[in-house]
């Protein structure tokens, strides 16, 4: 049975700034410190970390939502990733991530730990956006879900 993961993070920048950071290949290259490609259209493809992570855009709603299929090198199939960007008071962006259809086993037949996938997203994308782009993270504890 496939696994699912949901988590969120808040940045003290407007959603349009976060959307640009997540969809512009020049910006992606800055915080990943590697070649990145991103075709900002539905059915367009993307790759980060010199092609280690690849995928396809299923739906793009400017400054609001990304629905994508991601392929990780250690997993046998693509996973479904939805990124919702919700504006909060004070030009804050609530980023809500949903990852679905995570396989139970990786390519080596080891159990997949969804917490490691969350950790990867947080460290390899969102912490790097904070560190390399200078976008502050709001670490308050309240959280709201949205699809």
Buried b vs exposed e over 73-87: b needs ≥16 C-beta within 10 Å?
Answer: eebeebbbbbbbbbe
The distance of Cα 38 from the centroid of its chain, to the nearest Å, equals 13
Helix (H, G, I), strand (E, B) or coil at 10: strand
pLDDT above 90: residue 143: no
Which residue spans within the chain are E strands per DSSP? Answer: 3-11, 37-38, 45-48, 53-61, 65-71, 79-88, 92-102, 137-138
Q: What's the pLDDT score for residue 114?
A: 95
Measure CA of the first residue to CA of the last residue in the chain; give whole Å.
22
State pTM to two decimals.
Answer: 0.91
Lowest-confidence region among 110-114, 116-120, 135-139: 135-139
Task: Match 């670490």 to its residue by tokens.
Answer: 139
pLDDT per residue over 28-73, tens digit each? 999 999 999 999 999 999 999 999 999 999 999 999 999 999 999 9
**Structural domains present in the chain:** 3-138 (3.30.530.20)
Helix (H, G, I), strand (E, B) or coil at 75: coil
């Amino acid at each position: 049975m496939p696994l699912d993961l949901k988590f969120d993070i808040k940045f003290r920048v407007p959603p349009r700034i976060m959307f640009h950071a997540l969809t512009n290949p020049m910006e992606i290259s800055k915080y990943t410190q590697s070649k990145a490609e991103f075709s900002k259209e539905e059915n367009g493809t993307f790759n980060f970390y010199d092609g280690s992570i690849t995928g396809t855009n299923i739906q793009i709603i400017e400054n609001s939502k990304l629905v994508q299929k991601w392929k990780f090198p250690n997993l046998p199939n693509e996973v479904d990733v939805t990124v919702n960007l919700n504006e909060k008071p004070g030009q804050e962006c609530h980023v809500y991530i949903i990852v679905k259809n995570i396989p139970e086993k990786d390519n080596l037949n080891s159990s997949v730990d969804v917490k490691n996938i969350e950790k990867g997203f947080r460290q390899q994308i969102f912490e790097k956006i904070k560190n390399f782009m200078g976008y502050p993270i709001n670490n308050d504890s309240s959280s709201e879900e949205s699809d």
